[in-house]
Amino acid sequence: MTARIDRRRVLAGMALAGAGLAAPLPLLAANTGRARIAKVEAFAVPRAVFVKLTADDGTTGWGEAGHSGGKLVAEVIRRELAAIYEGADVFDGDGLWARAYYEIDELGPGGLASQALAGVDCALWDLRGKLLGLPVWALLGGKERGSFPVYGSFSRDLGQGKYMTPDEAARRAAEMLGEGFTAIKVRMAIREENADPADDPTLPTARAVRKAIGDAVPLYVDANNGYRAARAIEVGRALHQELGVAVFEEPCAMHHYASMAQVSGALDMAIAAGEHEYTPFAFRDLIDHGRPDLLNPDVSKLSGLTAARHVASLAWLRDLPISVHNARPTLLSAAHAHFVAWAPTASRPQEHPGAVRLKELWRYFRAPMLPKDGIFTVPDTPGLGLEPDEPAIRADAS
C-alpha cells in the first residue's frame, strides 16, 4: 500500500530547490511515499495518441504522444516503454527518462522513440501532480506567468495534395481573428523535398492574408523547411520589408544548420526553429550552429516535459526566447501551457491551433481548455488540468 504523501515536506523541498531553474524530481522523491507505476496503456484514436499511467493506489495520469504514425507510436509504448516504466517509482526523474531514452533510441530518436517517450513522460508528470495535489507548473519549478498570449496558426495544406488559394488563406486568417486571436501565423507547407518551388506560394499567400487582417495585426510565416539559403533570404526580405512579417519560421530544411545560420545573419527579422528537434542534444547543436533567434520546441516530439526542461535551461543560458510549436489542442496544449507558465524565456506569444482545427478531439475530454480573446490561462488544478472521457477513448482506440 502506498504511503501517505506529506505535501508540506514536499513543498519545503521545492522551496529549497528554488534557486535552480527546475525543481529536481529526486528531491521530491525523498519527501514522498514509494508510489509506483502499476500500468502503462496507449490509445491510438483518430488523429491522436493518448497515454494512461496508473499508480499502485489507482491514481491515473494522462499524456499525449506524437501523432505521426499513431498506431506504431502506441505499439512502441506497449512493447518497449511499458516494461521500463511499470514498477518504477513515480517520482524518479531524469534517471528514469534517460533509462527509457537510451533503451529505445535505436528505434529512431527523431521519430517513433521520441514521440512515444513524450506521451509516457507527460502522463507521468500529470500523475505526479495528481498524487501531490499540485499543478505541473509547480513541479517544474514555479509559475513565471499565469496566462500568456497565443497566436492563431493554420496551414494552407488541405491534405491529399490540395492547398488553399491565397483567397482561401485570407478567409481562414480572418476567421481566426474572429476566434479572438490578435496575431496570425500561416504555414506554407512547401517542405524540403520541394525546396525553392518554381510556383512559390509564400508571397501571394502572405499578401492576401495581410490584406485580410490589416496592418496592425502581427503576422508570422512558416516556410516549413521550404527554401535553400539564397531564396530564403530573398523571400524573407520581401516578407519583412513589404508586409511587416515579424517571424520567419524554418526557412531552410531543419538539418541544414549552416543554411539557417546564413539566413539568420542576413535578415532583420526573427528566425524561428526547433519544431523538428527531438532531443536536448539536438537543440544544443541547433543553437550553436543554426543560430535561430527564437526556439519553438514541441513537447510531443521532444521526448516529453523532462527533456523540455533542459531545452528551457539552454534557452535561459543563451538568452533565447521560446515560443512552443503547439498544433494539437488537448493534452499536448495543456502540457505546453504548464511548460510556458514556468519556462523563464517563454515570454513571446505562443502557438495555438484554435477552436476549429481538430475540434473533434474534444469529445475525448469532459471539458475543453481553450484560449479566450487571444489569452490562454494556465490551470491551477492538480496535474495537467484535463479530465479525459476514458470510455470514449477506449471505444475509438486501436
Tally the residues of the chain.
398
Model pLDDT, residue 93: 87
Q: Give this prediction's pTM.
A: 0.91
The four Cα atoms 134, 135, 137, 139 give a dihedral, to 10 degrees, of: 30
Query: How is residue 147 written as a grid cell?
Result: 496566462
Q: Which contiguous run of DSSP H or E holds residue 65? A: strand 60-65
Query: How is residue 370 written as a grid cell?
Result: 481553450
Tell me if 384 sits within 8 A of 62, measured CB to CB: yes
End-to-end CA distance of the chain: 32
Q: How many CA atoms lie within 13 A of 131 on its CB side?
A: 35
Name the 3-class secondary structure at 378: coil
pLDDT digits 0-9 by tens, 345-389: 999 999 999 999 999 999 999 999 999 999 999 999 999 999 999
Model pLDDT, residue 106: 87
Per-residue pLDDT of the chain (398 residues; tens, 9 = 90+): 333 444 443 433 333 333 345 444 444 444 446 799 999 999 999 999 999 999 999 999 999 999 999 999 999 999 999 999 999 999 998 999 999 999 998 888 788 999 999 999 999 999 999 999 999 999 999 999 999 999 999 999 999 999 999 999 999 999 999 999 999 999 999 998 889 999 999 999 999 999 999 999 999 999 999 999 999 999 999 999 999 999 999 999 999 999 999 999 999 999 999 999 999 999 999 999 999 999 999 999 999 999 999 999 999 999 999 999 999 999 999 999 999 999 999 999 999 999 999 999 999 999 999 999 999 999 999 999 999 999 999 999 98
Task: List phi, psi (to 5°) of 107.
Answer: -70, -15
pLDDT digits 0-9 by tens, 222-253: 999 999 999 999 999 999 999 999 999 999 99
pLDDT digits 0-9 by tens, 155-179: 999 999 999 999 999 999 999 999 9
- Can you say whether the dihedral through the CA atoms of 330, 335, 336, 342 is positive or negative? positive
Mean pLDDT (the chain, rounded): 92
